[in-house]
Amino acid sequence: MTYEHDFLVIGSGIAGLIYALQVSRLGKVAIVTKSSLLDCNTAYAQGGIAAAIDVKDSFAEHVEDTFQAGAELGKRQVIQQIIEAGPALIQYLIDLGTDFTRMDESYDTSLENLSLSLEGGHTRRRVAYAADSTGYQIMEALITQCKANNAIDIFENRIAIDLITQHHVVQDNGFIPGITCWGAYVLDTDNNQVDIFRAKKTMMSTGGAAQIYAHNTNPSVATGDGMAMARLAGARLANMEFVQFHPTAFWSPDGDTFLISEAVRGEGAILRLSDGRAFMDDYHPKGNLAPRDVVSRAIDAELKKRGEKFCYLDATGVPSAILKAHFPFIDSKLKEKGIDFTCEPIPVAPAAHYFCGGILSTIDGATDIRNLFVAGEVACCGLHGANRLASNSLLEALVVAYKAANHPCNSDPVDFPIIPEWRLMGVFNENEWVIISHNREIIGTIMQGYAGIRRSRRLLKYALSRLENIYNEINNFYQHNAVRKEVVETRNMAVIAIAVVRSALMRKESRGAHFLIDNPERNDLGYKHDTII
**CA distance readout (Å), 467 to 232, 244, 463, 474, 476:** 16, 21, 6, 10, 14
Q: Residues of 126-161 as b/e, b for ≥16 C-beta within 10 angstroms?
A: bbbbbbbbbbbbbbbbbbebbeeeebbebbbebbbb
Maximal CA-CA distance, the chain: 73
Task: Identify the DSSP state of 418.
Answer: P
β-strand pairing of 237-238 with 358-360: antiparallel
Q: Are 23 and 146 in contact (CB under 8 A)?
A: no
- Please, which residues bridge with residue 47 across strands? none
d(CA 150, CA 153): 8
- Which residues, including other chains, have CB under 8 Å from residue 434's CB and lie 6 or more apart? none
β-strand pairing of 311-314 with 270-272: antiparallel
Q: Are 205 and 378 in contact (CB under 8 A)?
A: yes
Residues 77, 80, 83, 89: is their CA dihedral positive or negative?
Answer: negative
Q: Are 155 and 186 in contact (CB under 8 A)?
A: yes
Q: Which of 292, 388, 491, 507 is catalytic?
A: 292
d(CA 215, CA 523): 30
Residue 454 falls in the annotated catalytic set: no
d(CA 339, CA 341): 6
CA 105 to chain centre: 32
- Which helix (H) or strand (E) segment holds residue 202: the answer is strand 193-204
Of 227, 248, 211, 240, the C-alpha closest to 39 is: 211
DSSP 20-35: HHHHTTTS-EEEE-SS
- Which helix (H) or strand (E) segment holds residue 91: the answer is helix 76-96
CA 94 to chain centre: 23
- Which helix (H) or strand (E) segment holds residue 186: the answer is strand 183-188
Burial zone of 260 (CB within 10 Å; 0-12 exposed, 13-18 middle, 19+ buried)? buried
Q: Which of the residues are catalytic?
A: 292
